[in-house]
Amino acid sequence: MELRTSGDQLVGTAPAGGPCQRPVAQQVLNGSFLGNVFIGDVTLCQKGDACSESATYAVMLFYNFEERALGGLVKMEGGCESDLLKNGMLVLRALEQGASAQPAAAPAPERQVQAPTPASPSGSAAQVAAQRRLEAVDVPAALRQGQQALAAMNPLTASQQFQLVLAQEKNNATALTGMAVAHFLRDQKLEALKFLEQARGVGNQQARAEAWFWMACVKRATQESKVAQEALRRAVVVEGWSAPEGNALVDRELLRLSNEGPNFDALVKQARGRKRAQGRDSQGAGSVSP
C-alpha cells in the first residue's frame, strides 16, 4: 500500500492485484492524524457467507515510532473476516524510507504498484509522524473536551481526546472510562468492557465508582440483568457513586436502568439523592477531577 500525507491528512492507495485481487489501484485508507493517533476509515476485502466482497470501517490506528508501523483494531461486521487482519488487527509497516507500506498479516504482492505522487507537498506517514514526536498534552483540557463530546454523544471526537491522554498517561482512569463509554456509544460492548476493567484496576475510589456504573450500563445492554444489578450496587453502595446533574447521557442510562425493575430503581434513586462532592461535577462519563 502507498501512504501519502498532506498536512495531517493521510491517504492510502492499494495496488492492483495483491491479496484482494483488485483489478486497479484503489484508495482504501483515508483520515487524519492527531499526534500519533490516526482517525479515519479503511476499506477491506472480506469473506463470509453473508458478507459483501469489500466494506469500509471506521478505525483508530496508532503510529509506533520505533517499529515504523501504523496499527489498530478493526471491528468487522458479525461473521465477516479479512485476510488483511490478524486477530482483528490491521498493521501497516514501512517497507523502506519512502511512501509504501503493506499489511503485516498479508503476503506481500508479487508486484508493487505505486499510485501517482500528488502535486502538493507530501511524504510517507512514517516520515510525517516521526518528524512530529508527540507533544505534551494538556491532560485536564483533553479530558474536559472528551467528556463534553461524550455528553453530546459524539464518540469519535471523544475517543480522539482520550487517546491523546492515554498516549501520555496510559493508566489515566478517567480517559480509560471515557474510551469505554465511547465504545459503548458505538455499540462496541466487548471493547467497552476491556477499558472498564483497566479503569477499575488503576483508578481511585471515584474512578472505580464511575467504571462500575458504566459496567452496569453495558451489562444491561447485553441483557445480563443480574450482573448489571451487582455492578450498579457496587457503584452506588460500595464505591459511593452519585448521579451528576444535567447530563443527558447519564440520565438516559439511569432511566434505562430504573426500568429494569424495583431493585434497580431503588439504587438509581439512591444515586440521584446523593450530591456529588464540590468541584467534582461530571462533564460526561464521569468526573475529570483527579
DSSP result, 252-281: HHHHHHHTT-HHHHHHHHHHHHSPPPTT--
Residue 180 near residue 199, CB atoms below 8 Å: yes
Q: Considering the domain boundaries, does residue 288 fall inside one? A: no
Q: How many residues belong to the chain?
A: 290
Give the pLDDT confidence of 154-202 residue by residue, as tens digits: 888 888 889 888 888 889 999 999 999 999 998 989 989 999 999 999 8
Say yes or no: 149 and 250 in one domain. yes
Higher pLDDT among residues 5 and 187, named by residue: 187
As a whole number, mean pLDDT of residues 259-287 equals: 72
Residue 42 pairs in a beta bridge with: 29, 57
Q: Considering the domain boundaries, does residue 115 fall inside one? A: yes
Distances (CA, A) of 103 to 83, 96, 238: 10, 14, 47
Higher pLDDT among residues 138 and 253, named by residue: 253
Say yes or no: 21 and 57 in one domain. yes
Number of domains in the chain: 2
Q: Considering the domain boundaries, does residue 282 fall inside one? A: no
Q: Supply the range of the domain harboring residue 45.
A: 2-131
Alpha-carbon dihedral 247, 253, 256, 257, rounded to 10 degrees: -110
* Phi, psi for 14 (deg, rounded to 5): -90, 140
As a whole number, mean pLDDT of residues 101-111 equals: 43
Residue 57 near residue 44, CB atoms below 8 Å: yes
Residue 164: CATH number of its domain? 1.25.40.10
Closest by Cα among 250, 236, 245 to 181: 250
Q: Is 58 helix (H, G, I), strand (E, B) or coil?
A: strand
Say yes or no: 242 and 225 in one domain. yes
Q: Considering the domain boundaries, does residue 27 fall inside one? A: yes
pLDDT at 111 over 50: no
pLDDT at 35 over 70: no
Say yes or no: 114 and 170 in one domain. no
User: Which stretch of 135-139, 208-212, 261-265, 284-288 has the lowest confidence by average pLDDT?
Assistant: 284-288
Q: Considering the domain boundaries, does residue 287 fall inside one? A: no
Q: Considering the domain boundaries, does residue 33 fall inside one? A: yes
Say yes or no: 41 and 86 in one domain. yes
Q: Considering the domain boundaries, does residue 281 fall inside one? A: no
Q: Considering the domain boundaries, does residue 163 fall inside one? A: yes
Residue 34 pairs in a beta bridge with: 37
